[in-house]
Amino acid sequence: MNLLNNAAITIPFPQNEPVLSYAPGSPERGKLKDALEELKSRQIEVPLIIGGKEVRTGNTAKIACPHDHSITLGTYHKAGAAEVQLAIDAAMAAKPVWEALRWEERAAIFLKAADLLAGPYRFLINAATMLNISKNPFQAEIDSACELIDFLRFNVFFAGQIYAEQPLHSPPPIWNYVQHRPLEGFVFAVAPFNFTAIAGNLPTSPAIMGNTVVWKPASSAVFAPYYFMKLLQEAGLPDGVINFVPGSGSDVGNVCLDSPDFNGIHFTGSTAVFQSMWKQIGANIAADKYKTYPRIVGETGGKDFIFAHNSANVAALATAIVRGAFEYQGQKCSAASRAYIPESLWEPVLAELNAQIGRIKSGDVCDFGNFCNAVIDRGAYSTITEYIDYAAAAEDAEIVIGGGYDDSKGFFVEPTVIVTSNPNFKTMEEEIFGPVMTMYCYKDDDYEATLELCDQTSPYSLTGAIFGEDRPAVSLAMAKLENASGNFYINDKPTGAVVGQQPFGGARASGTNDKAGSKQNLMRWASVRAIKENFVPPTSFEYPFMDAE
């Protein structure tokens, strides 16, 4: 007997997790340094976790440290087709019990997980994030601690709002209500390397809504997600609700997408991969492989912009370019990578950029004086440096800041600023995913035309920013760039969306704009059934007008 069936439970109103400073002398600084040393001192073996059980395939890969080739954090086992099918079977087997729980009981698990992450797990998962994907303490704190905690707490609150949404009217003798059911099959969660918070949100948001999940972390970022999976188990997550299956995209993805039980994908990653998955799903729909149309939710690439009007504050503009383009080495889907600067501000902006970038230090994450660290792996390093080399050789572009790179110790690329006379230069149009900013100078009188150019330059529509103190000019930019980004910033950098404050996502080639960190995303993981109950049903078919006079 479930005693909670007789309780109306209120979910605590969520608050954004405070960001710790890690300033010299602070207690958190010492705890984080201890966690870093502890993780570096030992190597771990990361198994698959399927149906709550650890599975070792023997097919292993290295858990790397991008800023120091001499450090190996451990190894992880890779799933093959057989293990992926086991994970699907475990997810389907766990469904009946999981979806039968009162939603508040599911919520309690994720609220406990949030408190575990805010407390005993905080420095462990931050340190794992720093070492495996090369983030400085602040970037790790706002990601693997604060944002992931926020996702857990706010998503539980949003779920409560969704379940409370009921039909507006029930005229007597009718009672109308709706049931927000989990999807019929399992959800496939595919995570990127660059945010532990996203990696944790992708499987947990469907699970909060009663779904069971097969979760594939990025191959280059298994370390922190593994510890988060262990945290979820400690929080009481039943076996099989979320199944942790690292492995290659094709080995895991093909089995999941081709399963008749597949009912949704929660994806963050490259546009090309997402489009190929959509194509595969479409072909399977055409082949009548699924019981119902799968939910397709994805956030993909970006070519994010900062646009300056001549009324912009130069120091604020330059700071936004530096932070927006070079925080976490530009490896954010929201990172600024193109800027439009009016001719009248060109020289002061360049001077301020030189001054600020000149103060940036790069290196090992364990040195807390470093603003920048390494890019994620050899493939990313090669791609980014090819763009830098291309710009260095081009006649219509010039590297004015940075441009250096070195992979002898780790995958280090200097913060790089390119200026071009060609608004359609390669690095103005193509996503680079590295610390490379390309700037185009426009004539002040061409403000409106250049706004239109900005909108037309990129197939993406993720984030963008306008800087200016002239309100009509800012208003014009908002109108002209209405469809150029899903998240738009006024006098602020185009990165750093906060759960519960700026729902995140973009359209065009940037994804389905289902807004992570909002109720809209949670609604995608429920299927509504409308129920009408008639307390006094009619007992004869005749209409009133048919009565004899």
What burial class does residue 334 get, using C-beta atoms within 10 Å of its C-beta: 0-12 exposed, 13-18 middle, 19+ buried? Answer: buried
Catalytic annotation present for 299 = yes
Distance CA 436, CA 21 (A): 27
The b-or-e profile of 121-131 (16+ CB within 10 A means b, else e) is bbbbbbbbbbb
Closest by CA position to 491, among listed 506, 471, 462, 461: 471
Please, what sign has the CA dihedral across residues 387, 320, 483, 340? negative
**How many separate helices (H) and strands (E) can be counted in the chain?**
17, 23
> What is the length of the chain?
549
- 495 close to 149: Cβ distance less than 8 angstroms: no
Q: Among all chains, which residue has been given the structure tokens 């150019």?
A: 453
> Of these residues, 299, 352, 414, 431, which one is catalytic?
299
Closest by CA position to 377, among listed 132, 78, 126: 132
3-state secondary structure 65-130: CCCCCCCEEEEEECCCHHHHHHHHHHHHHHHHHHHHCCHHHHHHHHHHHHHHHHCCCHHHHHHHHH
> Of these residues, 65, 146, 333, 454, which one is catalytic?
333
- Helices (DSSP H) in 303-345: which residue ranges? 314-326
Active-site residue numbers? 299, 333
